[in-house]
Amino acid sequence: MDLFYMSVVLLGLLALFLGSTVWVGISLFIVGIGGFTVFTSNSPFAILSNIVWNSTSGSTMMALPLFIFMGEILFRSKISENLFRGLSPWMDKLPGRLIHVNIVASALFAAVSGSSAATTATVGKITIPELLKRDYDKSLSLGSLAGAGTLGFLIPPSMMMLVYGIVADVSIGQLFIAGILPGAILAVTFSGFVIVRCLKNPELAPKSDLQYSWKQRLHTIPQLAPVLLLITMVLGSIYLGWATPTEAAAVGVLGSIVFAGLSRSMDWQIFKESVMGSVKTSCMIMWIVCGASFLSVAVGYLGIPASLTKYIGTLELSPYLLIGILSIMYIILGCLLDGFSMIVMSLPIALPLIRTAGFDPLWFGIYLVIMIEIAQITPPIGFNLFVINGLVNEDLFKIAWAALPSFIIMLLVTALITAYPQIVLVLPKLMIR
């Protein structure tokens, strides 16, 4: 059967199952098994065990439960409340007010976790109940979280950068440094959009009767100190070469337990709840990752990603047109694959095309991470959408619609770094000097 029709069949089945009441992980497994059974002669069950093991046993995936555990401790202790209270006075004069806490808290936690799903889950547990309780616009609140949660991949440390650096043989340290400026630009742009929306319609973010002086704002800095110190501990241990990202995650867990103890908000009950919460969240994410990985292998066996990238290579495009076509390709792949699979399946063919066109592989790594961020909020396989769905039990496609402005913003930032690649390359060059 033609690859185009196979792609349409798989996408159609995914949309059918995900639009019904079938669990996400089960839907992905069913479509993967169907793809193997109908379109190949391979036994899906002979491959399934290896896929499940490979998807969950890697060092990057081992770091995820630790970061989630750290987030659960932050959420259940006074540290998370203090983070919200510490950021709130600094946002009260901005149009959009507490919605900006979604973005700033995501940027801060991204610098600790390295995971988009962990960032979205942790920040969402802290901010969304408060925003909805205060009658903030639900769509804008969820959409800002969906977009800002993706910063977990762009602001270092980043699991996707680790995978790209290994596969593309690019310095992981330089990748981490290169992601800082684009990550900051993306966060500022998210906030700028919220400001514009709330200037046009102030009712999206109701006014508060509380007024803060500069003295009161400065007094909130100690409330932010634990998170800032955790960022320093996690990133510092990686940059100084003292720990791998997985070990740094363990450092973060230890630090969060210590800070929770110092704030007198850690007891045996909270510890048990944190463990159980992290187990549940990790199992949910791992189940989806296993299903997505299995479907990715099925799609790979059908030759869809390789055929798509090979076809683009035969077109002999100009450099910017090549980036435009690759962007469309990655958006399509993001509807079918998880981020790890997008890197592994497309890079062997896409990277030579990029080098031939004159683009720096370091720059391409940041570009590809942003494309993976876009995939995080693109149905039907958008992990951030599923995480938010688990938090608020909102319809998946309503969350995707709320995240549409973030999708457009990320495309605009991609165009910006393509037109001005020095945005990505300037900091690594300065660090080398």
**With 80 as the cut, is the pLDDT of residue 18 above it?**
no
* Residue 270 resides in a domain: yes
Question: Which helix (H) or strand (E) element contains residue 95?
Answer: none
Split into its structural domains, the chain has a count of 1
Mean pLDDT for 58-65 is 68
Q: Which residue has the higher pLDDT, 188 or 16?
A: 188
Q: Model confidence at 365, in pLDDT bands (50, 70, 90)?
A: very high
* Type of residue found at 407: F
* Residue 155 resides in a domain: yes
* Residue 1 resides in a domain: no
Interatomic CA distance for residues 252 and 277, integer angstroms: 17
Interatomic CA distance for residues 49 and 299, integer angstroms: 17
Which pLDDT does position 111 carry in this prediction?
A: 77
Which pLDDT does position 43 carry in this prediction?
A: 72
Which pLDDT does position 361 carry in this prediction?
A: 93
Q: Model confidence at 210, in pLDDT bands (50, 70, 90)?
A: low
* Type of residue found at 92: D
* Residue 424 resides in a domain: yes
**Nearest alpha-carbon partner for 424 in 98, 174, 168:** 174
Interatomic CA distance for residues 352 and 348, integer angstroms: 7
**With 60 as the cut, is the pLDDT of residue 433 above it?**
no
Which pLDDT does position 188 carry in this prediction?
A: 95
> CA-CA distances (angstroms) from residue 264 to 41, 84, 270?
60, 18, 11
Mean pLDDT for 50-71 is 73
Mean pLDDT for 407-427 is 94
User: What value does the mean pLDDT of the chain take?
Assistant: 82
CB 159 within 8 A of CB 63: yes
Interatomic CA distance for residues 241 and 215, integer angstroms: 39
Question: Which helix (H) or strand (E) element contains residue 303?
Answer: none
Which pLDDT does position 113 carry in this prediction?
A: 65
Mean pLDDT for 15-19 is 71
Q: Kindly give, in sequence order, each residue whose CB lies less than 8 Å from that of residue 316, ignoring residues fewer than 6 positions away.
A: none
Mean pLDDT for 83-90 is 79
* Residue 49 resides in a domain: no
Q: Model confidence at 114, in pLDDT bands (50, 70, 90)?
A: low
Which pLDDT does position 148 carry in this prediction?
A: 92
**With 80 as the cut, is the pLDDT of residue 409 above it?**
yes
Report percent pLDDT > 90 for the chain: 19
**With 90 as the cut, is the pLDDT of residue 412 above it?**
yes
Mean pLDDT for 195-213 is 82
Least confident of 27-41, 258-272, 363-377, 399-413: 27-41
* Residue 13 resides in a domain: no
Query: pLDDT tens, 221-249?
Result: 888 888 888 888 877 776 677 877 678 77
Which pLDDT does position 61 carry in this prediction?
A: 66
* Residue 21 resides in a domain: no
Q: Model confidence at 419, in pLDDT bands (50, 70, 90)?
A: very high
* Residue 20 resides in a domain: no
DSSP letter at 134 equals T
Least confident of 91-100, 231-240, 362-371, 423-432: 231-240
Query: pLDDT tens, 264-322?
Result: 888 888 899 889 988 887 787 677 777 777 877 787 777 776 776 677 667 777 888 98
Least confident of 109-118, 250-259, 313-322: 109-118
Number of neighbouring beta carbons within 10 Å of residue 137: 21
**With 90 as the cut, is the pLDDT of residue 411 above it?**
yes
Which pLDDT does position 7 carry in this prediction?
A: 73
Say how far residue 361 (Cα) sits from the centre of its chain: 21
Q: b vs e for 311-337, b when ≥16 Cβ sit within 10 Å of the residue's Cβ?
A: ebeeeebeeeebbebbbebbebbbbbb
Q: Which residue has the higher pLDDT, 170 or 341?
A: 170
Interatomic CA distance for residues 345 and 230, integer angstroms: 34
Q: Kindly give, in sequence order, each residue whose CB lies less than 8 Å from that of residue 177, ignoring residues fewer than 6 positions away.
A: 156, 427, 428, 431
CB 91 within 8 A of CB 98: yes
CB 418 within 8 A of CB 323: yes
Interatomic CA distance for residues 2 and 8, integer angstroms: 10
Interatomic CA distance for residues 173 and 162, integer angstroms: 9
* Domain extent for 125: 28-37+60-432
Which pLDDT does position 6 carry in this prediction?
A: 77
Which pLDDT does position 181 carry in this prediction?
A: 93
Which pLDDT does position 363 carry in this prediction?
A: 95
Which pLDDT does position 305 carry in this prediction?
A: 67
